[in-house]
Amino acid sequence: MKNKLFVYILMFVLLLSGSVLAADGIPVKVIEPQVKTVELNRVMNGVIEPVQNILLSAKVGGVVEDLRVRVGEQVQQGEIILVFEQDQLQVQIKQAEAAVELARANLEMLLKGASDEDRKLAETSYQQAEISYESAQKNLEFANNLFEDRTMQKQQLLAAETQLESARVQLKLTEERYTQAELALKLAKEDYERMSHLYENDVITAQQFEGIEAQYENAKSNLASAELAKEQARVGYEGAVDGYELAEDAFNNRLSAEQQVTGANTQVDMAKVSLQIAQVNLEKLNKGASAEQIRISQANVKQAEAALELVKLQLENSIVKSPVDGIIAQLNVDEGEMAGPGTPVAMLIDIDQVYLKLDVTADILTSLKIGQEVEVRVLALNNEFRRGQIELISPMVDARTQAYPIKILLENADQRIKPGMFADANLIITQSQNTVVVPIETVFDLEGSPYIYVAKLSADGKSGVAEKRMIKVGLVNNQEVEIIGGVTAAEKVVSEGQFTLKDGDVLEVTL
């Protein structure tokens, strides 16, 4: 009680003679608490992914005759990626067109009735169809023999195996370099902490300390570079694994040779149909057409027209086109290589927009929402900042990482952000609006009974008395503290010189 009375008397004296006290007071600076929004943030690291990632597969099989793009090229929707050999399909189209003409001629013949000249023509057509059927059977026999030859698939498998081993070695080297960089950083940090103590006690010079500090910063930079190299090697290794599995599957399934057998079977079937049509037509001419025969002939015309449309569709599918605007990210075939139906031949990505994929824990997940704006720092672009929005929050935990994947959409019209780059996302976990906020360095004993020093100033504002004020805090981040009780925004808080103060000290306010 006596202490408080002394403080009040001293404050009264200060109001009357501020200039006298100012000469003997402790120099401090004061601020008014701000009324603003304070946020609690978490910085999470993630990797960039393309918004669209399209795997183009061959609808037909065969030999790649013309590869028109290279990895990294920009392509437009409808632009040709590659073309398979079309010689066999062109022959099939000619056969199908001939079958259509034959079927229509036979129908017309039945409707008009046969003459001696028509009978001779039908006999010639039958003989030609018979020769075509025998030729198709020989082609089928040749394709079956080729189906048993697996030399080409074996070569592709060996090449993929070599590439996989090279990628595995590269991954191991980058992992070793990362481990070395970690050890170097640890040693550099220990040296820095030891030299910091010596520098503070004037044992070493500023130039010596700056050298140690530079070594420490270089070690941190080297570790970041080693981590990026390790991640790139991991991506390359996973691509090599996929390539090996694809080659192994091609070797085991023999899709390419099987496609040739399928094509040869199609030719045999079409030649057989043409032969049957020619035979039926010849018999009809000799016997004369009935109503049932005319209906059958009409059906033969439709069947031949359908076969022609099917071959035309196969010819169209032998040209692989880009379904959207994008960039060629991967090519799995070269000119002259065989590819079976369903084989992935290229990967197309669209990076006009990109995703930053993060894995967050459940406690962070509950604070996020779709559409929430996020500040993103792209490490590979000299820490350039971009604004994005949360577009996807997975409701399922990833069994491997035990975290929840989220995706942040970023605009990337300049396409400087590339898939595989690393970036930091500044996630707002919670916030308080229109609240009293002070710098964190003005608050003492945050973990226990927090307090600050409030300056009770004289009329001229140049002197005053320090009052130790217990406060109640809300949100706390690295820079600021929310005060929800104990201090108002209209009071003055000591912001510099506060570390040596005690309750009741006389203050001299400096600018």
**155 and 243 inside one domain:** yes
Show the domain range for 336. 59-84+319-342
3-class SS at 16? helix
**Helix, strand or coil for residue 499?**
helix
pTM for the full predicted model:
0.50
User: Total domain count for the chain?
Assistant: 5
Query: Which stretch of DSSP H or E encloses residue 32?
Result: none
Cite the DSSP H helix spans in 254-337: 255-287, 291-317
Domain boundary among 253, 273, 297: 253
Instruction: Name residue, tokens 């694994």.
Output: 241
Whole-number pLDDT of residue 437? 94
**155/145 same-domain check:** no
> Are 140 and 272 in a shared domain?
yes
Residue 501's contacts (CB-CB under 8 Å, 6 or more residues apart) are 26, 28, 453, 466, 468, 494
Q: Are residues 155 and 241 in the same domain?
A: yes
340 token code pair: 């079976």
Is 247 found in the same domain as 160?
A: yes
Specify the pLDDT at position 116.
64
Distance CA 250, CA 247 (A): 5
Instruction: Bin 227: left if φ > 0, else alpha if -120 < ψ < 50, else beta.
Output: alpha
- Are 143 and 261 part of one and the same domain? yes
Is residue 47 domain-resident?
Answer: no
- The CATH number that applies at residue 502 is 2.40.420.20
pLDDT at residue 504 in the model? 92
C-alpha–C-alpha distance, residues 298 and 315, integer Å: 26
Are residues 145 and 272 located together in one domain of the fold?
A: yes
Q: Are residues 365 and 505 in the same domain?
A: no
Provide the pLDDT for residue 17: 44
Split the chain (511 residues) into runs of 10 and give each run's mean pLDDT: 46 45 75 91 91 87 88 88 89 87 81 66 75 75 62 70 84 87 87 82 72 78 78 75 71 62 76 79 68 82 90 89 88 88 88 92 90 92 92 91 93 91 91 92 93 92 92 90 93 92 92 66
Q: Is residue 117 a contact partner of residue 256, using CB atoms and an 8 Å limit?
A: no
Considering the domain architecture, whether residues 7 and 27 belong to the same structural domain is answered as yes
178 shares its domain with 247? yes
Residue type, 300: N
Domain harbouring 394, CATH code: 2.40.30.170
Q: Is 50 within the bounds of a domain?
A: no
Residue 415 lies in a domain: yes
Among 342, 375, 408, the domain-final residue is: 342
pLDDT number for residue 390: 94
Closest CA to 466 of 492, 443, 441, 433: 492
Angle between helices 255-287 and 87-112 (to 10 degrees): 20
Q: Where among 400, 427, 454 does a domain terminate?
A: 427
Whether 53 is covered by a domain: the verdict is no
CA angle 175, 176, 179 (to 5 degrees): 90
Whole-number Å distance between alpha carbons of 183 and 193:
16
Same domain, 262 and 278: yes
Residue 49 resides in a domain: no
Same domain, yes or no: 174 and 297: no
